Structure 1
Amino acid sequence: MTAYRPLHDGWTLAPGGVSANVPDRVPDGVPATVPGCVHTDLLVAGLIDDPYLDDNENRLAWIGRTAWVYTTTFDWTPDEHQRTDLVCDGLDTVATLTLNGVRLGGTANQHRSYRFPVRHLLRAGANTLTVRFDPALAYAEAMRAALGDRPGAYEAPYPFIRKMACNFGWDWGPALTTAGIWRPIGLESWSGARLAEIRPLVHVADGGRGVVDVHVTVERATEEPLTLSAEVAGVSADLRLATGQRRAVLSMSVPDVRLWWPRGYGPQHLYDLTVRLGDDTAHRRVGFRTIGLEHEAFKLTVNGVPVFVRGANWIPDDCFPSRITRDRLATRFAQAAGAGVNLLRVWGGGLYESDDFYDLADEFGLLVWQDFPFACAAYPEEEPFRSEVTAEARENVTRLTPHPSLAVWCGNNENLEGHADWDWQDRLHGRSWGAGFYHDLLAAIVAELDPTRPYLPGSPFSDPPDLHPQTPATGTVHLWNVWNREDYTRYAAVTPRFVAEFGFQGPAAYATMRRAISGELAADAPLVLHHQKAEDGNDKLLRGLGAHLPRPATFDDWHYLTQLNQARAMAFGIERFRSLAPYCMGTIMWQLNDCWPVTSWSAVDGDGRRKPLWYALRRAYADRLLVVRDGAVFVVNDADAPWRGDLLLVRHGLGGEPLAKEIVPIRAAPRSVSGFDLPAGVGVPDDPRRELVVAQLGDRRTVSFFAEDTEVAFPEAAWEARAERGDSGYLVTVTARTLLRELALFPDRLDPAASVDDLLVTLLPGETATFRVTGGADLDIEALTRHPVLRCVNEPRQGRSTE
């Protein structure tokens, strides 16, 4: 029998000793929230400014250079249990724990939990627990000095501590080095024995039988025989643990199980699993499905069905992870699913995410690719790191095995490529760099603890591993020449098997920038540039406009055009790679989310607002997609049902007049891609600057121009627009008098809470679009129909709107 008591109340925070870093205004005894971290406690106490606003980050580096002490006093009454443990689910990071003046132990790993026996130290009445956090930076620097430097993408010593790497700063994130009790902490009392580990391995056998092998580890306070049992879907199993026995496997076979499928392929059936050891009871949720991966072709299968991965990379959703609630994750997952995403890759510079994250992935049907937390650097394999990596990997692989959404384990992000291409080898001087982790240790742990899922040593990765890791014909690639050096049309020249990273930047929503930046909003304003962490990021934004879009004359133009260009670049790449299926079987765009308000590669910005990229992603990741490019048409049908109908192809003049028309009968099989050349009548323009093609099949439509926007002889946009209150917000109806290119509505400029249901709509003369605006209160009706809220590429240069 066990009893758990959280220790989340009554904590205070104080600097640990005399330090020149600490401002005089920071007293001892600051109220502390647990779970939490130092930054959020100081912020709530009004002792620091919000680190996400302006350039406040620059003035807060002292926090990460300071030791901090958390203290609480709690009452305890002796009970009849044999054991009591202090259970720490997450300590960030270099901690020393003391109970009633006696040192319990030290920690140096944010990625694992700790358990300390404390019954012999507890007193009837008041007890004092302290947790001292020494600076993570100082620890990492000392380890670097002791073991020898290793090359990496940044100067910060993040490879020398088992802590969230991006906490030290990244090309989309601030340097806010945290410390604190970031996950729950409490006392667990127990007698006899307790369930220490539960590791259900699930698969589907022939005939539709679901098989669950529940691997159980018990901790004993007695060596007497014990009874262990498990139940799932009405099927149970039990066994007797002999004297001293600590491990056992309970196997159950469930006939005719309902399968778990990723979204778009079927329902997400889940089953409750209950495990009992005497009075100690634990619950897990499992789903019956099989996962397969053809490494060379890099084709993922679920229940034997090939899945085209429509993925997004996931970074920690906040620099202070204790602020990430289940509701916030559910919102982000809904945004991912709403954009057509079916897989999230948990990137290796972050964390093993919370139980809520994987529970929600199970419910939403979002597959999870889990990187082990290694990213963009050479990592030392010596002690104490080898033991720490072993402990964290064993714990987290065991923790995550129940989740049917978890599909892939991956050893690292870009470290294999770094060793091959980033001039590491000469700089390493023979020192370890992580290869033993990725090829041996982690592979062995996954093979032992979770053989139901595939493991790959890293991404990018080629199979066989003696190939260069960026070999397009096998395995995964990361495509960063686009954005860094080349135009996004370069995607058309690449024929990969699987693209696990590629991205293009765009600024955050206007309301997000306005909240985060108190000064002037200008592309080159100092505070705007502070919220742009990529090297030469704003220069690359402008260079990326290329011949695609006009050069911006104002901040509002810059904001709209660079957001639009981000959306177009990613849609171009996704459409290209989807048109290659089944040779190419997946894309994982960089990135779904942000951790703070910043110009970045995200589709959803740091305040949770959807950027134009999100709307483009929803179209490009739809089950059914029409792609018209370079004189060809591709019909992409990633649905279970055939797609049949007459494809209408019309070549129009810019005034809307039809110049040629073709009807092509389409019979697209489920999960198929078919392509053909555009018929000459519609595919060959008389004047590329003054013509376009519209393709429509059922409710899917795409508009394709023969020339770049900067070369098209657009008419000056004219439209009729009206806004009115609706039942749940506002309706904005726009009727085109002329061609309107990439019509967009930005209601967050009027109210930060307002959002719109669609963006980037191209209308021919006479066509109408209705935008639904929700979330805003008492919006200015007239402003909803004027610049800069309502925009298009070919809008009037003067006046900005017409009636």
Structure 2
Amino acid sequence: MTRQTLHEGWTLRAVPGAGVPAEVAERAVPATVPGCVHTDLLAAGLIPDPFGDDNETRLAWIGRTDWVYESSFDWQPGDDDRVDLVCAGLDTVATVDVNGIEVGRTQNMHRGHRFDVRSLLRPGGNTLTVRFDSAYRYAEAQRDRLGDRPNAYPEPFQFIRKMACNFGWDWGPTVVTAGIWQEIGLHAWSTARLADVRPVVTVADGTGRVELHVEVERAADAPLTLRAAVAGATGEVTVPVGERTAVLTLTVREPELWWPRGYGEQPLYDLDVTLCAIDGRALDGWSKRIGFRSVRLDTTPDAHGTPFVLHVNDVPVFVRGINWIPDHPFLTEITRERLAERFDQALGANINLLRIWGGGRYESDDFYELADELGMLVQQDFLFACAAYPEEEPFRTEVEAEAREQVTRLAAHPSLVLWTGNNENIWGWHDWDWQEPLAGRTWGRGYYLELLPAIVGELDPTRPYWPGSPWSGSDDIHPNDPAHGTMHIWDVWNDDDYTKYREYVPRFVAEFGYQAPPAYATLRRALTDEPLAHDSPGMAHHQKAIDGDRKLQRGLDAHLPAPADFDDWHYLTQLNQARAIQLGVEHFRSYRPVCMGTIVWQLNDCWPVTSWAAVDGDGRRKPLWYALRTAYADRLLTVQPRDGGLALVAVNETGEAWSAPATVTRLTLAGEPRAKTSVQLDVPAYSAVTLALPADLAGPEQADRELLVAEAGETAERALWFFAEDRDIDWPAPELDAVVEPADGGQRVRVTARSVLRDLTLFPDRLDPSAGVDRALVTLLPGESATFTVHADGPLDPAALTARPVLRCVNDIR
């Protein structure tokens, strides 16, 4: 068996047509494979950065153009029975020719294809051509043929099996790609090969079991031997003549269990599978690292409704999650190193689950391998989002093939704990005025409630499947009912103040979010606006949400002083995003175990944009990231309104009991105590305790001049409660002393407060795009100090580092 990659010597050219610029028409440019048209045109200097200013709009012609990739390669015949051209991923509507002869057509980005080409190959030079027809033209033709169906955006993304967010989203650019986006090459083999290997891994009563389901493709009818080994256990089975499937079971005594981060270690075991001829010759092989763990979903009705609780190794896990979108619109730009940085950022924010949203892709092997190694739980949506999807052909066949391929590919990964049928489509059918325009046409229900659960039940029976996000668990209950299953909360961002999160006590909230602009350095890299303003042309183009700026302003008006300039607006909108999500997360966590999970929208961005992300499109952490680190801490102390008063809630997401003395003090903004109480916290492992606060603490004498400070334990977990909104608080002018000194790889900024300093934050990227800081959103009382560590490629000016607009607090806006 030999494999020959075909990644070199490619050229790309546009098929002549309306809209193709003269400098591109009929010009062959070097092409990178794997890659896409946009990255090749960019490398050739034929287009500007698609993500700068409004270039996205001016490059829309790319998605409406047909493209041809061509390469020549040498091939020498051997004694192999078969030579296959293997295309792991073609985006999307492709015609593949070898030496001028068509070998196949594809129409699904989310699955691979294999073509027998041995009879077409010539000794010596050969030509391989892949033509990509416009995804728009294909999708619009299918829409016209089958009848239009509603969706969230005026784009035909549900009429093609392609990454939906390529067609634009309320956080993403419209850059409709084409290209050979995954590996392509020749695979020469004889007798038989491994077509599919699917391990079903279980563990119970100290015994691990790997049930290997193997499918072989034959070129000859000969008996075969299948061998496998894992963790010292070995096994062998014969595949008789005429048979194409086999099951081989391996038993492992006392395997170490794989745990999510924070619950234990992540031991992984090499699983090796070999297909042999009857004489012992190895014909093909397959290897993966697996982990032994159990996972189940508890939805047993209780007094509060229908819970949604993930159990890993029979331990209920409170999901501290966040949603994941494709980290770049051009998928080959997402390297393992880039993913590792995002995982590090997620883990640094105390996140334990990433939900892969249904408008993107089935994530890469790199993604899942990192999740396995780091203990990050993964929820994978099937790829349906915010639209009514047709179930007619060719889509049903394509969806089934795609789902079978991807479930089989991902079944080995212990980090994957939940399959979800779609994003918001069942909810959309109920609430988004779809039923009348659909007029009885298919919309995807058969996928979510019949086809996909059947495929998961057949191929991946150890993992739970949930038909949609959100979904209540029953057709008889509204799909977004907070008392049942999972829910999304979007009325807060769209219509209400973020304090409305406190009106919900969901069983599991799988989406909720609040917007803010990206880091200043990210804006300055992408936009040429002069001056930069919240409504300047580039900023306006990079705000994709409907009425997004109006909603940001509504949030500012409700809570914060009026910004005087762009610098104030930028700081305050980022601060408001952080506060909104921190309030929501802490509220939901305070109701553990009625609520057993929160998945914030969203971790990452794919370009420079005002969005709901905690990490912007250039990989910079927004203040929201720091707020999540606090709100998702293993031990959380929070003050919450309860029954007309206030309560101190302590949440413990560790395996050890949390016992500590705690104090709650009502203070003036000048730091003068007005009332105080001391309590003993005794919080069992994986639980929460609520303690009502005395009335003299919950009732201030002057709401605009007082706050509560709660502190617990030697590590001084702290929670604050303000009795009034910042816009109504009688803030003193900020007074502080700041000292800057060198530190390893950067500088330390020590700030000592002489007055209260509310949400003190450093923005060192304003001085150097390479600069970042270790903490943010620090509130200091008079006499308190905080140290910020800044890392940059070079030293920053101390005077600039400790002055506006780099060093900010709420009470410097007057």
SS in 2 for 1:172: coil
1:200 equivalent in structure 2: 199
- The superposition leaves residues 379-419 of structure 1 with CA deviations (integer Å, 9 ceiling, x where unpaired) of 00000000000000000000000000001111100000010
1:614 equivalent in structure 2: 625
1:666 equivalent in structure 2: 681
Task: Compute the TM-score of the two structures, normalised by the length of structure 1.
Answer: 0.98
Which amino acid is 1:294 matched to? D
Give 2:23's match in structure 1, choosing from 5, 25, 28. Answer: 25
2:279 equivalent in structure 1: none
Give 2:616's match in structure 1, choosing from 602, 605, 614. Answer: 605
Which amino acid is 1:111 matched to? H
1:522 equivalent in structure 2: 533
2:303 equivalent in structure 1: none
Alignment of structure 1 residues 494-573 onto 2, 5 Å: 494-520=504-530, 521-573=532-584
1: distance between equivalents of 2:133 and 2:191?
Answer: 37
CA contact (8 A) 1:504 1:569 kept: yes
Which amino acid is 1:527 matched to? G
CA contact (8 A) 1:717 1:796 kept: no
CA contact (8 A) 2:760 2:809 kept: yes
Matching of residue 396 in structure 1 with residue 406 in structure 2? yes
1:761 equivalent in structure 2: 778
1: distance between equivalents of 2:639 and 2:793?
Answer: 37
Give 2:233's match in structure 1, choosing from 229, 232, 235. Answer: 235
2: distance between equivalents of 1:728 and 1:63?
Answer: 44
> What number of residue pairs does the alignment pair up?
794
SS in 1 for 2:567: helix
CA contact (8 A) 2:191 2:220 kept: yes
Alignment of structure 1 residues 356-505 onto 2, 5 Å: 356-505=366-515
1:54 equivalent in structure 2: 53
CA contact (8 A) 1:752 1:776 kept: no
Alignment of structure 1 residues 252-271 onto 2, 5 Å: 252-271=250-269
2: distance between equivalents of 1:75 and 1:619?
Answer: 58
- The superposition leaves residues 464-497 of structure 1 with CA deviations (integer Å, 9 ceiling, x where unpaired) of 2321101111100000000100000001111110
Which amino acid is 1:231 matched to? A
SS in 2 for 1:189: strand
Once superposed, which parts of structure 1, at least 4 consecutive aligned residues long, lie more than 3 Å away?
none
1:283 equivalent in structure 2: 287
Which amino acid is 2:510 matched to? A
2:34 equivalent in structure 1: 35
1:81 equivalent in structure 2: 80
2: distance between equivalents of 1:736 and 1:795?
Answer: 13
Which amino acid is 1:247 matched to? T
SS in 1 for 2:726: coil
SS in 2 for 1:359: helix
Instruction: Give how far 1:268 is off.
Output: 0.8
1:787 equivalent in structure 2: 804
Matching of residue 742 in structure 1 with residue 759 in structure 2? yes
SS in 2 for 1:332: helix
1:800 equivalent in structure 2: none
- The superposition leaves residues 284-334 of structure 1 with CA deviations (integer Å, 9 ceiling, x where unpaired) of 111000111023311110000000000000000001011100000000011
Which amino acid is 2:298 matched to? E
CA contact (8 A) 1:721 1:785 kept: yes
Instruction: Give how far 1:796 is off.
Output: 5.9
Instruction: Give how far 1:683 is off.
Output: 2.4
Give 1:246's match in structure 2, choosing from 244, 247, 259. Answer: 244
- Specify every segment of 5 or more residues in structure 1 that has no aligned partner in the other structure, as ranges: 798-803
CA contact (8 A) 1:718 1:795 kept: no
2: distance between equivalents of 1:261 and 1:344?
Answer: 15
Instruction: Give how far 1:3 is off.
Output: 1.2
1:775 equivalent in structure 2: 792
2: distance between equivalents of 1:747 and 1:416?
Answer: 44
Alignment of structure 1 residues 617-632 onto 2, 5 Å: 617-630=628-641, 631-632=646-647
Matching of residue 308 in structure 1 with residue 318 in structure 2? yes
2: distance between equivalents of 1:165 and 1:796?
Answer: 42
Instruction: Give how far 1:557 is off.
Output: 0.4
SS in 2 for 1:349: coil
Instruction: Give how far 1:105 is off.
Output: 0.8
Which amino acid is 1:25 matched to? E
2:210 equivalent in structure 1: 212
SS in 1 for 2:812: coil
2:649 equivalent in structure 1: 634
1: distance between equivalents of 2:395 and 2:121?
Answer: 32
Task: Compute the TM-score of the two structures, normalised by the length of structure 2.
Answer: 0.97
CA contact (8 A) 1:439 1:457 kept: yes
CA contact (8 A) 2:228 2:236 kept: yes
2: distance between equivalents of 1:744 and 1:465?
Answer: 47
CA contact (8 A) 2:561 2:813 kept: no
2: distance between equivalents of 1:219 and 1:466?
Answer: 45
- The superposition leaves residues 45-77 of structure 1 with CA deviations (integer Å, 9 ceiling, x where unpaired) of 000000011111111011001000000000111
Instruction: Give how far 1:194 is off.
Output: 0.7
1:801 equivalent in structure 2: none
CA contact (8 A) 1:310 1:586 kept: yes
CA contact (8 A) 2:9 2:71 kept: yes
Instruction: Give how far 1:676 is off.
Output: 1.6
Instruction: Give how far 1:617 is off.
Output: 0.3
1:710 equivalent in structure 2: 727
1: distance between equivalents of 2:759 and 2:693?
Answer: 24
CA contact (8 A) 1:370 1:410 kept: yes
CA contact (8 A) 1:547 1:709 kept: no
Instruction: Give how far 1:235 is off.
Output: 0.2
CA contact (8 A) 1:311 1:343 kept: yes
2: distance between equivalents of 1:656 and 1:84?
Answer: 78
Please provide the CA RMSD for this pair.
0.9
Instruction: Give how far 1:353 is off.
Output: 1.0
2: distance between equivalents of 1:465 and 1:354?
Answer: 33
2: distance between equivalents of 1:530 and 1:597?
Answer: 11
CA contact (8 A) 1:463 1:475 kept: yes
Which amino acid is 1:603 matched to? A
Which amino acid is 2:619 matched to? G
Structure-2 change in CA distance of 1:796 and 1:368 (3 Å): closer
SS in 1 for 2:579: helix
| Percent identity (aligned) | 62
2: distance between equivalents of 1:439 and 1:796?
Answer: 53
Matching of residue 344 in structure 1 with residue 367 in structure 2? no
